[in-house]
Chain A
Amino acid sequence: MRTPRNTPASDSSADGEALLDVRGLSVDFPVAGGRGRTLRIVRELDLTVAPGERVALVGESGSGKSVTARALLRLDRHAVIGGQILFEGRDLVTLTERELRRIRGTRIAMVLQDPQTTLNPVLSIGDQLAETLTIRGVPRKAALVRAREALDRLGVARAGERLRAYPHEFSGGMRQRVCLAMAIIGDPAVLIADEPTTALDVRVQQQVLELIDELAAESGMAVLLITHDLGVVAGYADRVAVMYAGRKIEGSGVEDFFAAPRHPYAQGLLRSVPRVDRDVSTDLDLIPGTPPNPAEPPSGCAFHPRCDRWVERCLTEIPELRVLQDEERAVACHRALPEREEVVA
């Protein structure tokens, strides 16, 4: 699709130029009926996105990746957020709601998983597209003109006519185009795309990814792509961060990652991706077991119950994310895989 740019691959070397710099992010949710008890869904998460960069945040469902995405703009009403989210020199965690509202939509925009539910069923497409602008005082007429342009850019035919339509009159792929138009209308510096293709059928998935790619290339917008699908990542991202049980367990450049993931979990994920060069029927081995329940996390490394390389230390000590020597990648594992592993059949 496009060649990865020559951006520094590791987190640590992105320092000064990061557009979005997340440090030690934690997200807690109150337990329903738990009288103030909370559950920690995301822990000690570091993540950087440089201007124009495409970063993929990968994990199974329940790994905390979507919670992270929403936490970046503090969108969950009940979430308690800790750590720092530095964006253009300001910490989004400590901003007032009012200051944060100025950033939402125009500096950082979002696309959610299911276009069916992301669109308000009782408002016309035009009003929803224009909303990002009208709430900032742009007159409705002017905003609708911009909305029409946005739809045009996304290749929606008869855009003018479509503005008056309601979401139920669109197909799934069309709705996601509308959602994308809604995201770019404010001309953001970062687009957070939370599983933007999951709810779509395979044929449309590729189109939507290509659209995001084009939009980002045209405007120099950075993209944080949240996904469970490594297949999506391969052709798309510059860097990959893998999450497991609320923690980031590996972060590296996309080529390094696909050449040899260092965390056993990342390796397992990669093996479970169907690939053309392997016989699908025999070699698709999924990681056994299920992700841990956040209410009862395992001791030590959260992945050890599903890991085939564990040693005693894994049961007691939570591995820290450490930068591997001579490499531009970080792994949180006591038993990280060697740099070049013989490919297991």
Chain B
Amino acid sequence: MTSMTTSALLRRPVLRLRRMPKLDRAAFAMVGLLLLTVAFGPLLAPYDPYHVDLGQAMLPPGAEHWLGTDSSGRDVLSRVLYGARPTILGSLCAVGLSALIGVTVASLAALAPRWVDDAIMRICDIALSLPIMVMALGISVALGPSLRSAIIAMVLSWWPSFTRLARAEIRTTMTSTYVESAVITGVSRWRLMTRHVLPNSLDSVYVQVTLEIGGATLIMAGLSFIGAGAQPPSAEWGAMVESGSRFLTSAWWTAVVPGAVITLTALAFALAGDALRARTSGREVM
């Protein structure tokens, strides 16, 4: 168990930027920038991302189109700015929902009799035995390929890892003296869980969420790339890489730019998650 509760974590100036290594600072700044893009990207976009103009097709990066145009003459910068929403917001939804379900299931398992706990763990094993890509493709034939199917698929294969994590943390917290004394004073099981156990067990879940958002972005983009996620002509980064991949020789920027943006996003969240983990657990992680 980590030594601090999350509220304490938030009160403590975790994000005290001046004390932070430069790299961590850059990562948090990048995450902030990405979230701003999610919020205001469409306002900043210089062009309509869906406006097709074949006369302007495959223009290299220049003064008018900073990141060039794609094979249909759409402005790549505008599409990247719009694309932050499906890609990042989609990943946030998927990871957030997974964490929510994971923690809920873990809490129920902690309060339920032993055999329920066992059954839940077996179900987790089964769900974890399906690689996320494969699960997502299964879901996409079942529900039809779309951003929504992609999110559902990610949640379906992701919640068990959060359940496992939360279950381990909850179990540790349950054995602590303050929880035992709360049990002795006779609080209800619901109150015990929500007031005493969960607040002291979720630090590592929050850190894990941050860490996983980067990975989720990669998967989200990958699903769109193979056609199981957001559908063209939607300005989703993975879908953009896919449509640009045919023009790597003639218009490299159409595939390279969205891919680079995906990399930067995943990198920023990974570094930020690492920095958070190092701060909450107090030990240095790689």
A and B touch in their complex, CB below 8 angstroms: yes
Binding site for B on A (CB under 8 A): 32-33
Give B contacts to A, CB under 8 Å.
Answer: 21, 284
Task: Report B-chain residues with C-beta under 8 Å of the C-beta of A32.
Answer: 284
Which residue of chain B is the closest to A32 with respect to CB atoms?
B284
A-B contact count (CB 8 A): 3
In the complex, chain A residues whose CB is within 8 Å of the CB of B284:
32-33
Nearest first, the 3 A-B pairs at minimum CB distance are A32-B284, A33-B284, A33-B21
Nearest chain A CB to B11 CB, angstrom units = 22
Q: How far is the CA of A33 from the CA of B21 in the complex (A)?
A: 9
A selection of 3 A-B contacts at a CB cut-off of 8 Å is A32-B284, A33-B21, A33-B284
Write the chain B residue with the least CB distance to A33: B284
Closest to B282 in A: A32
CB distance from A30 to the nearest CB of B (A): 12
In the complex, which residue of chain A has the Cβ closest to the Cβ of B284? A32
Bound: A33/B284 CA distance, A: 8
Least CB separation from B21: chain A residue: A33
The CA-CA distance from A226 to B284 in the complex, in Å, is 30
> In the complex, what residue of chain A is closest to B283 when comparing beta carbons?
A32
User: In the assembly, what is the distance between CA of A329 and CA of B233, in Å?
Assistant: 88
Q: How far is A143 from B145 in the complex, measured between Cα atoms in Å?
A: 67
Q: Roughly how many angstroms separate A32 CA and B279 CA in the complex, as a whole number? A: 13
Q: Chain A's nearest CB lies how many Å from the CB of B254?
A: 42
Q: How far is the CA of A33 from the CA of B283 in the complex (A)?
A: 10
For the complex, what is the distance from the CA of A296 to the CA of B36, rounded to whole Å?
Answer: 42
**Chain A contacts of B21 at CB under 8 A?**
33
Closest partner residue, chain A, to B278 (CB atom): A33
Considering the chains assembled together, what is the distance between the CA atoms of A32 and B285 in angstroms? Answer: 11
Task: Determine the distance from Cα of A32 to Cα of B21 in the docked complex, in whole angstroms.
Answer: 12
A77 CB → nearest B CB, Å: 15
- The smallest beta-carbon distance between A170 and chain B, in angstroms, is 28
A4 to B284, CA, bound (A): 48
Cα distance A33–B24 in the bound complex, in angstroms: 12
Residues of B contacting A33 with CB < 8 Å? 21, 284
